[in-house]
Amino acid sequence: MGDRQKHIMDMVDMLKNTPGITLNAVSPIYETKPVGYADQDDFLNGAVEITTIMDPFQLLDVCMRIENALERRRTVKWGPRTADMDILFYGELVMATEKLTIPHPLLHERGFVLLPLMDIAPDKVHPARKVSIRDLCKNAGCSGITLYRPGA
């Protein structure tokens, strides 16, 4: 919601300026149709690769703080929002708790997640599925997603 591109740039800047996080790569931004709750504007999606000294739960707290700083409101599942940050991978870790599941449990079927990952980590192997991002993208319908072009 709002200035979608600015929100993404703000999220990246806040991550980059968080002590204990090093930003390694940033994907291009893609524009996609909403999934799950269709009565809303298109989404902008991207991915970043970071290195961190934080544990996964500390990183999740950082993500939640950034979302809150951008006034994220959780009213409708998969509904309109100003910001949404997910931890897709954390090295080779595979875990599932009530608070956090890594790898992200739906990333393998979401082209809007996989295509930005293709730009920064095509050979990354999903630690639970043992398949590369490249191969997951082939199977998840990444072809219908367009690069974001402001004003187009």
Q: Which residues pair with 31 in a beta bridge?
A: 44, 146
Active-site pick, 10, 72, 119, 135: 72
Joined tokens for residue 94: 């595979």
Centroid of chain to Cα 130: 20
Active-site pick, 10, 84, 119, 135: 84
**What residue ranges in 14-151 does DSSP mark as E strands?**
21-26, 30-32, 43-45, 48-52, 95-96, 101-102, 146-147
Active-site pick, 13, 42, 61, 86: 86
119 has catalytic annotation: no
Do 88 and 103 touch, CB atoms closer than 8 A? Answer: yes
72 has catalytic annotation: yes
135 has catalytic annotation: no
84 has catalytic annotation: yes
Q: Which residues are catalytic?
A: 72, 81, 84, 86
